[in-house]
């Protein structure tokens, strides 16, 4: 329960034969937790493996805690994503309190040792799709999945004016002041994709950037491929992310979707909710493409679509491919980029200011394109 520290109230012992009907007995004594009534599809069905999360909605969160003690990985990831979103709405007096204040929430998920939050970014320390590179693959996915969106509509171009918290890396949501979401149009959330990767027997198409980690005071780099224990991340506390031999986006013009062949026919469903096709989502009236691929651009700094393209063409911005993978249950796939801005021309460093996702039909045929 959640209660004011100054409140003195009795805790009544319920007879065993009343326990099943005692839900409302304590209602008048219980006060709202900071996440009550916000997000997370907890409660009944919260541990369903077949749960399809098709968009951000405000579902019931039971006083900030998972309802089931033994929730599935998907339910835990969903709860974690929604806790992050609701926490990111709060305004803290001191920026340095961001991650320390979030430690209580992180503690809810520490019973699953493979699930680790590195500066607020969820990664899986364990095998993924039968590969011993879980940290590498899931970090590439997670770091290119979150973005800022204050509203609930699924626009395919989002540009939010967010303030940087410079004591934290730009690649984590904790390094910014703004409302975070994990939804990836057209119909997949980060938690669903990541849990699919964890439980998959095999993936014949799964790629992540060549990532190295380092600290400003420790120049020796750590290949993320070699990280098989969260203890190494905790002890060495790297904050700089380096991608070697990066693949850069070379097409920057977003054009209105006029092709008639595009379809996303998967039927999405929630237990107890009406079925609907994915084309019915509340998004822009028009879809847009980059390089003939359905695109979603999300920026943490304010700019127009024209400015986004111009800054890429001038070299002020670059978009680096971090993750590419086929979806588990259909032929489509996703390519996810980080959009970076140079931090001083002498430093050779860049900061994350946005992300880009491309939905690619028949991804296996697009490796060389």
In 3D space, the residue among 221, 194, 205 whose CA is nearest the CA of residue 114 turns out to be 194
* Cα–Cα distance, 256 to 266 (Å, whole number): 23
Provide the 3-class DSSP secondary structure of residue 116: strand
- Confidence band for 54, pLDDT divided at 50, 70 and 90: very low
Q: Please, is 236 exposed, middle or buried when counting C-beta atoms within 10 Å of its C-beta (0-12, 13-18, 19+)?
A: middle
Q: Grade residue 323 by pLDDT with cuts at 50, 70 and 90.
A: very high
Q: Is the peptide bond before 292 cis (omega within 30 degrees of 0)?
A: no
Helix 98-106 and helix 73-88, axial crossing angle in degrees, nearest 10: 150
Token pair belonging to 309:
């393209």
Average pLDDT over every residue of 56-83:
62
Question: C-alpha angle with apex 119: 111 to 50, nearest 5 degrees?
Answer: 50
User: Does the pLDDT at position 9 exceed 80?
Assistant: no
Q: What are phi and psi of 253, to 5 degrees?
A: -90, 120
Residue 46's φ and ψ, nearest 5 degrees, are -65, -15
Between 52 and 106, the more confident residue is 106
Please check the confidence at residue 260 and state whether its pLDDT lies above 80.
Answer: no
What is the value of pTM for the model shown?
A: 0.80
* Helix boundaries (H) for 68-177: 73-88, 98-106, 134-143
Q: pLDDT averaged over the chain? A: 76
Token pair recorded at residue 139: 């970090």
E strand spans, 149-197:
157-159, 163-164, 176-177, 180-181, 183-184, 188-189
Comparing C-alpha atoms, which of 301, 305, 268, 278 is closest to residue 289?
305
Which of 241, 245, 244, 243 is closest to 215 using CA atoms?
241
């Amino acid at each position: 329960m959640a209660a004011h520290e100054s409140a003195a109230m009795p805790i009544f012992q319920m007879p065993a034969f009343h326990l099943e009907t005692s839900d409302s007995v304590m209602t008048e004594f219980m006060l709202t937790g900071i996440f009550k009534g916000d997000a997370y599809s907890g409660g009944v069905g919260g541990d369903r493996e077949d749960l399809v999360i098709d968009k951000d909605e405000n579902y019931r969160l039971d006083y900030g805690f998972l309802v089931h003690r033994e929730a599935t990985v998907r339910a835990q990831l969903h709860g974690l994503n929604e806790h992050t979103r609701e926490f990111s709405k709060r305004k803290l007096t001191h920026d340095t309190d961001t991650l320390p204040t979030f430690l209580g929430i992180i503690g809810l998920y520490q019973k699953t040792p493979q699930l680790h939050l590195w500066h607020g970014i969820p990664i899986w320390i364990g095998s993924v799709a039968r590969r011993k590179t879980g940290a590498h693959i899931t970090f590439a996915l997670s770091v290119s999945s979150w973005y800022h969106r204050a509203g609930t509509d699924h626009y395919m171009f989002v540009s939010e004016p967010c303030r940087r918290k410079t004591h934290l890396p730009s690649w984590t949501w904790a390094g910014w002041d703004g409302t975070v979401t994990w939804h990836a149009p057209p119909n997949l959330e980060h938690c669903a994709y990541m849990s699919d990767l964890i439980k998959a027997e095999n993936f014949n198409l799964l790629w992540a950037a060549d990532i190295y980690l380092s600290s400003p005071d420790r120049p020796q780099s750590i290949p993320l491929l070699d990280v098989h224990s969260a203890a190494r991340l905790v002890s060495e506390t790297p904050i700089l992310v380096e991608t070697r031999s990066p693949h850069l986006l070379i097409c920057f013009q977003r054009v209105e979707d006029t092709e008639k062949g595009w379809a996303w026919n998967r039927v999405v469903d929630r237990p107890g909710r009406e079925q609907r096709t994915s084309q019915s989502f509340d998004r822009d009236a028009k879809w847009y493409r980059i390089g003939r691929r359905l695109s979603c651009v999300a920026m943490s700094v304010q700019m127009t679509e024209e400015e986004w393209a111009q800054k890429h063409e001038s070299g002020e911005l670059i978009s680096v491919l971090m993750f590419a993978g086929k979806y588990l249950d259909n032929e489509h796939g996703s390519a996810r980029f980080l959009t970076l801005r140079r931090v001083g021309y002498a430093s050779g460093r860049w900061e994350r200011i946005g992300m880009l996702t491309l939905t690619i039909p028949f991804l296996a045929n697009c490796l060389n394109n």
